[in-house]
């Protein structure tokens, strides 16, 4: 059953929300997301409201847009932005009201290198930054795994740093949440998803795709695909998070000391290269699933004791404390002292 009723709420957005508090979070060809407060001061909350101009979309895209709120309801608010409401204004505007999050993974990626004192992507990470990056990646993998554990499975299809949000909870801890389910689709193992003719094209998962930099080959070329398509996207995101060029990985070029556990960080770096290489392969059946990637966490991460015993950890903490963006220090210390 659709979450959105056929009846329109004319001028509901303007009547409900305070335009003076409105700021743009992001925008695209057909949609803009606003951070806005309600006129009712007693509410006290700030919301994210997505406005979609339906007249700019074809029929398939309109169907995807209408389904987005339904997917948000299906997915746990622990791993996806919380759905609040949705409505139509006339026949041309669709609004989806959600909880507002503090920032996106894109913001974290843009600030992380400088936060940990690296001058360029070529400069190797120290154990402190690697440790934080591993925990971010593990939480992202766990979020996507929740989609894939649903029955039927949910394929996000548009995973990218902009669609991974960072939310500070009431207890002060930070968590990752997925957003933008406009291209998501349900997957049933008993069904075939591919296009080999014009007729297939109308019936397939794929008529529209998201950011091509993160989309798996089989989705772009309309071949049969499943949840492994999201794993490919996660490989690209992982490459950005760990400053690894996934398209240029050569496991034969690693020095011998990277192939043992004698140096925990070197060993983890090698394991991460190996992992991302396996997630990035062309053939979906050869990619691991999210659960298998998570099962190898101890291989590509480093123990908190390594970080705690590092001689420069106090210097790192002091630097993170001085940053305007409190995510880095809060998240780092929380994971470092978590039991």
| pLDDT, mean of residues 73-96 | 92
Highest mean pLDDT among 97-111, 172-186, 192-206, 252-266: 97-111
Higher pLDDT, 212 or 93: 93
Q: Which of 131-145, 174-188, 203-217, 229-243 has the lowest mean pLDDT?
A: 203-217
Annotated binding site: 50
- Give Dmax (Cα) for the chain: 67
Q: How many angstroms separate the Cα of 183 from the Cα of each of 52, 67, 135, 210? A: 14, 9, 27, 7
Q: What is the dihedral of CA 185, 190, 191, 194, to 10 degrees?
A: 100
**pLDDT of 18 higher than 90:** yes
Strand, helix or coil for residue 163: helix
Alpha helices in 127-188 (DSSP H): 127-149
Annotated binding site for ATP: 50
- Predicted local distance difference test score (pLDDT) of residue 1: 39
Cα R_g (the chain), whole angstroms: 21
- Predicted local distance difference test score (pLDDT) of residue 238: 99
- 109-125 pLDDT, tens digit per residue, is 999 999 999 999 999 99
Helix H or strand E segment including 79: none
- Predicted local distance difference test score (pLDDT) of residue 339: 67
Q: How many angstroms separate the Cα of 103 from the Cα of each of 63, 177, 233, 326, 327? A: 28, 10, 20, 11, 10
- 272-303 pLDDT, tens digit per residue, is 999 999 999 999 999 999 999 999 999 999 99
Structural domains present in the chain: 12-99 (3.30.200.20), 103-337 (1.10.510.10)
- Alpha carbons 159 and 215: distance in angstroms, whole number: 8
- Predicted local distance difference test score (pLDDT) of residue 3: 62
Confidence of residue 186 (pLDDT cuts 50, 70, 90): confident
Confidence of residue 225 (pLDDT cuts 50, 70, 90): confident
């Amino acid at each position: 059953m659709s979450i959105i009723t056929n009846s329109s709420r004319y001028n509901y957005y303007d009547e409900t929300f305070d335009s003076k508090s409105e700021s743009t979070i992001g925008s695209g060809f057909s949609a803009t997301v606003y951070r806005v407060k309600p006129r009712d001061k007693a509410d006290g909350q700030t919301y994210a409201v997505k406005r979609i101009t339906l007249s700019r979309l074809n029929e398939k895209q309109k169907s995807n847009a209408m389904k987005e709120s339904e997917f948000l309801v299906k997915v746990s608010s622990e791993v996806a932005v919380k759905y609040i409401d949705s409505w139509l204004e006339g026949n041309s505007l669709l609004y989806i009201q959600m909880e507002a999050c503090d920032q996106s993974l894109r913001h974290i990626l843009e600030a992380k290198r400088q936060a940990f004192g690296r001058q360029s992507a070529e400069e190797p990470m120290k154990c402190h930054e690697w440790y934080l990056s591993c925990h971010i990646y593990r939480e992202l993998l766990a979020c996507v795994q929740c989609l894939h554990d649903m029955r039927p499975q949910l394929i996000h299809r548009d995973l990218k740093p902009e669609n991974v949000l960072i939310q500070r909870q009431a207890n002060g801890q930070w968590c990752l949440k997925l957003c933008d389910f406009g291209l998501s689709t349900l997957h049933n193992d008993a069904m075939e998803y591919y296009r080999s003719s014009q007729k297939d094209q109308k019936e397939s998962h794929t008529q529209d795709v998201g950011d091509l930099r993160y989309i798996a080959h089989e989705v772009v070329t309309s071949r049969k695909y499943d949840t492994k398509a999201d794993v490919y996207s996660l490989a690209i995101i992982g490459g950005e998070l760990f400053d690894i060029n996934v398209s240029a990985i050569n496991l034969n070029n690693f020095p011998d000391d990277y192939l043992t556990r004698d140096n925990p960080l070197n060993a983890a770096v090698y394991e991460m290269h190996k992992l991302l290489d396996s997630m990035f392969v062309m053939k979906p059946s050869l990619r691991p699933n999210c659960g298998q990637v998570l099962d190898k966490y101890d291989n590509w991460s480093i123990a908190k004791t390594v970080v705690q015993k590092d001689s420069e950890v106090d210097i790192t903490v002091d630097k993170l404390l001085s940053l305007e963006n409190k995510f880095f220090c809060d998240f780092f210390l929380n994971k470092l002292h978590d039991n």
